[in-house]
Structure 1
């Protein structure tokens, strides 16, 4: 088993570099086109030259800077939502959230009533087409 360890390490690095190259966006690939990097990794993977070249020169690595907070000063945060101020309320206690739920529920109820009325109208139309004598009796 110990004799297979170097082979397994080479195989794992080869597979990892290949998948990493395939999933890397084109704009993050350096020096050569992405297709050329895939070919290099596949052709020279057995001797580790391809995967090591990809790790060293093929992909732009993110430069780690200071960790940023989710909302920088003056920024509204993700998706345009306002930055939470003060004590944050749970959704159950937030009156604005509860009011929006009531408004949505009212809209959904109105929509459901409209659909039900439309369904009743369509059913009556179909009944009238199926039974031609129904219009003469009434």
Structure 2
């Protein structure tokens, strides 16, 4: 009889420690009923019964958590974000086009101004310069 009580005490202690560790390591989204600190208090303060309550009531099974999640094409929130993202992409595309047009216009204006400035003033030549403006060139 003493051996049976010793074995039951050992199994109860192992179960109690396992319940504490399991409760502590579970993410907060997998706790049912009360919060994580309350479940830890229940499991620690009521050794075997607290662990049994944790596994039967407080812990959400992995399969139940997976059912709660939806595939992206079934999730209206996700689908709504896609529309917003495509609106942002369209706006970015339009802004890039406008920027490219402005760059092209400013490049054309600079090119025209440079060309007009080059044609208005003849190149300066010293006695030692050739037609291209290089000194000491033999021509």
Fold match by TM threshold 0.5: no
Q: Per the shorter chain, which TM-score range?
A: 0.3 to 0.5
Structure richer in helix, relative to its length: 2
State TM-score, norm by structure 2: 0.42
State TM-score, norm by structure 1: 0.43
